[in-house]
Structure 1
Amino acid sequence: MSRTKKILLAILIVLIVIQFIQPTRNTSGQVLQTDIVNMYNVPQSIQAVFENACYDCHSNNTRYPWYANVQPMGWLLARHVKEGKDELNFSEFGSYSSRRQANKLRAIENSVKDGTMPLSSYLLLHKDARLTETYKAEIISWVRRTRDSLTQNK
């Protein structure tokens, strides 16, 4: 067997073996009391946008695409979701201090305004997560009102 065939066979074996090493899934299957939609009056339209464009990376309930079962894509997705939840977790938003909630709301406003969220890499495969100008305006308005109510209640 030639050297090239041996290398290709080794790569194939590694690719097959790594398929059995699956990352832990981020699916609790429940909406916690600390979820932002349980803590604040989130209009249905904004809640739908959050669930469609944000919750996969920023909650305890990720909807996994088929390619999450193929390694190393599953590992990359798991890391991406962990980083997203470390930055902001809508499922645990109510457990944040009032100050942290206000800061996170400000970050949401800025991310929506400057178009850094949802990530362009996410939008490549999730066309329905694109935010229209109308949705952006609604989210920004709601975030500002909610943040203002937080600072007034101090």
Structure 2
Amino acid sequence: MIFRFSVRNLLRWVLLLLIIAIISIQFYRPNKNDAKVTPSTDFFLSFDAPESVKKHVVNACYDCHSNTTKYTWFDNVMPIGWWVDNTILKGKTSLNFSVWEQYEGWHKLNLLSAIEFDLKTSKMPPKNYTEYHKSAELSNDQRQEIIDWISTIDRPSLVISKTNNYNYAQD
């Protein structure tokens, strides 16, 4: 039997290998970012925020910036899931609402300023996220409501530790 080279045979083999590769990568999945319990260090346990502000922030920010992500069906399809996992990891590295109380006072001040800036400039939530997560879209009024609430947070109290000492760098 002589194997005859043809474009049709080549395409069949390439397609078969591609299908095998796509099926194979479905078996390697990153760990889910889905803590079932709200930690005692969560952002909203530190502040008395109106329910509407909590709702807006949780819907628009917590999927990428906390330890609790609500996944959609397509987040479970690889390689999309790998990209989503990487995005969540980057988001939690810059700000993780679930560990708010573990941040130093100066870091909290910087994060609040960054949140305000990102909301004012519509940088967050990103368009590629809200395109597929419509509940995360924030209207201009919702953005302003969050910004107004953040501006009421007593900033000096953030840099004073529980022992009433300022959080200066330790020698």
Indicate the TM-score class for this superposition, using the shorter chain for normalisation.
Answer: over 0.9
Q: 1:4 — aligned with what?
A: 11
Unaligned runs of 5+ in 2: 1-7, 161-165, 167-171
1:139 to partner: Cα distance? 0.8
The alignment-based identity, stated in percent, is 35
1:20 to partner: Cα distance? 0.7
**Would you say how many aligned residue pairs link Structure 1 and Structure 2?**
154
C-alpha separation between the residues in 1 aligned to 2:90 and 2:154?
24
Pick from 16, 39, 45: which aligns with 1:38? 45
Q: 2:169 — aligned with what?
A: none
The letter of the residue matching 2:75 is A
The letter of the residue matching 2:20 is I
Pick from 102, 127, 132: which aligns with 2:109? 102
Q: 2:55 — aligned with what?
A: 48
C-alpha separation between the residues in 1 aligned to 2:94 and 2:158?
21
Using structure 1 for the length normalisation, give the TM-score. 0.94
After superposing on structure 2, the runs of 4+ consecutive aligned residues of structure 1 that deviate more than 6 Å are: none
Unaligned runs of 5+ in 1: none
C-alpha separation between the residues in 1 aligned to 2:159 and 2:128?
37
More helix per residue: 1
1:150 to partner: Cα distance? 3.4
SS in structure 2 of the partner of residue 33 of structure 1: coil
Q: 2:150 — aligned with what?
A: 143
Greater C-alpha radius of gyration? 2
Q: 2:100 — aligned with what?
A: 93
Using structure 2 for the length normalisation, give the TM-score. 0.85
Query: C-alpha root-mean-square deviation of aligned residues, in Å?
Result: 1.5
SS in structure 2 of the partner of residue 146 of structure 1: coil
CA deviations over 1:113-140 (Å, ceiling 9, x no partner): 0000000000101112111122111111
Q: Is the 8 A contact 1:102 1:150 kept in 2?
A: no
